[in-house]
Amino acid sequence: MAILFWLIILLACIIAEMHTQAFVALFIGIGAVIAFFLALLSVPFAVQAVIWLVVSALTLLSLRPTVVHRYQRSTVVNLSVPANSSLTNLTGFVEDAVGDVGHPGRVKIKGESWKAVTDAPEPIPSGTQVVVKKTYGTTLWVEQVY
């Protein structure tokens, strides 16, 4: 019965971590894995529970800060510099006239509408084919296709 209990705890931790990415359930799950193996060895349930709590607390306190720091550092996107994205070099059509940064418009690319601006001296009129040159966050910099 204890084996099933730890499997349920482990499954709940996996599901919780997939939905939150807070790196709390991960370490509670690590404790549950240790307790699961103790259950396989027929260690009394009270000992399993205490070891689960201790292992979960120790890994949570000692490893979570490092994991969170590395995860957050790897997912930070600097929106102040242009980036090449999956939209770079794709073509689309202007929905609403596209002007400079002060007069953005909309373009449709792959069926989705995006905010767009241009470095061209004149606005690009509706219906014109454009190509994406760079992105800043969710704003596309486009040029007219000739």
pLDDT digits (tens, 9 = 90+) for 70-114: 776 655 556 556 677 788 999 999 999 999 988 999 999 999 999
Instruction: Read off the pTM.
Output: 0.50
For residue 144, which of 133, 131, 135, 134 has the smallest C-alpha distance? Answer: 131
Are 94 and 106 within 8 A, CB to CB?
yes
- CATH class, range 91-144: mainly beta
- CATH code 2.40.50.140 region(s) in the chain: 91-144
What pairs with residue 113 in β-bridges?
Answer: 108
DSSP 42-110: T--HHHHHHHHHHHHHHHHHHHHHHHHHHHHHHH---TTS-B--TTTT-EEEEEE-B-STTS-EEEEET
Mean pLDDT, the chain, integer: 90
- Tell me how far apart the alpha carbons of residues 52 and 112 are, in angstroms, rounded to a whole number: 48
> What is the mean pLDDT of the segment spanning 34-46?
96
pLDDT at 73: 64
- For residue 32, what pLDDT is reported? 95
